[in-house]
Amino acid sequence: MARRWRIPLASLALAFGSVFAVATSASAATVTHHPASPVATPAGFQPGGLMVRPGGFTNLTTRAGHATALSTNWSGYAATGGNGAFTSVSASWTEPTATCGGHSNQYSSFWAGLDGFNSNSVEQTGTDADCSGSTPVYYGWYEMYPAFPVNFSNPVRPGDHMSASVTFSGSSTFTLVLQDATQGWTQNIVQNQTGLARSSAEVITEAPSSGGRVLPRTQNPTEIIMVDNSGKQKDSTSAISSTGAFSNTWLRST
C-alpha cells in the first residue's frame, strides 16, 4: 500500500504497511545481530522524543467516534493506559524516498515505541529519511529518551522493507529490534532501565526537532494529527484499516 509524506522542499513517499502493536505479553524473537559502528548524529538534532502538544489547545478531542490528539511533532496512532499497561509494540513500513531541494537540512523519522505520549521517557527504534542540503540521507537508530539516540551504520535505502519492535521482558529489560529485510541486517539492542511507565505504545511519523498482531480494537487507540503552534493542520492521519495499516499524508509546511 503506497503512502505519501510530502514536504514542499523535499518529498517523502511513506509506506506504513502492517502497523501493529501493543500486547500485554510478548515472546522473544530470534534475530541476527550485525554489529555496526554508529554514525554521528548532526549537532543539535535528536530524532525521537516526547510528543509535543501545541499550547492553548485541548489535549484530546473526538472525531469519528474515537479520540484525536494534536501534536506539533507526531502523527500516527497511540494506545494509552495506566503504568505498566504495555509490554510490546511493533510495526513495518517501506522506507520513504526523500527528494531534497535547496540548501537547508530537513528531517523526518518513522518509528515504533513505548511511552512518550503521557510520560517523560520513550523507548523507540526506527529510521530517518533526511535531507543534508540537497543530499538525501537514510539511516536506522534506537533511543532510550531522554538519552541521546544511537544511529546505526547499516545501509538503509528508499524502498527497503523495514520492521521495528520494542519489547519489555520483565524487571528492567527492554529489547529494541530494527530489521531491514531488503538489505539483510537486523539490529537487536538490549537496554536495562528501571522506573519507566510503559503507559503508551505508538507507531509514529515524526517531524524531529532539536530539542505481528493487529492493534487490538479494544485499546481504542488515539489518532494523532500534526499541527503548527496555531493549531493549523500540517498532515492527515487515516483510519486504521482491517489489516492494521494507516497512512500519514503531508499537507503543508507553513
With residue 179 as reference, give the H or E element that holds it: strand 173-180
What is the structure's pLDDT at 171? 85
What is the structure's pLDDT at 218? 53
Mean pLDDT score of the chain = 77
What is the structure's pLDDT at 173? 96
What range does the domain containing 199 cover?
5-235
What is the structure's pLDDT at 229? 83
What is the structure's pLDDT at 204? 92
> Backbone phi, then psi, for 158, in 5-degree steps?
-55, 140
The answer to whether position 87 is within a domain reads yes
What is the structure's pLDDT at 102? 72
Measured torsion, CA atoms of residues 147, 152, 153, 154, in degrees rounded to the nearest 10 = 180
The answer to whether position 185 is within a domain reads yes
The answer to whether position 96 is within a domain reads yes
The answer to whether position 253 is within a domain reads no
Nearest-angstrom CA–CA distance, 91 and 100: 26
Q: Give the residue, 33 or 180, on which the prediction is more confident.
A: 180
The answer to whether position 244 is within a domain reads no
Please determine, for residue 38, whether its predicted confidence score (pLDDT) is greater than 50.
no
The 10s digit of each residue's pLDDT in 117-152 is: 999 999 999 999 988 888 899 999 999 999 999 999
The answer to whether position 246 is within a domain reads no
Using left for φ > 0, alpha for ψ between -120 and 50, and beta otherwise, residue 251 falls in: alpha
Nine cell digits for residue 168? 519489555
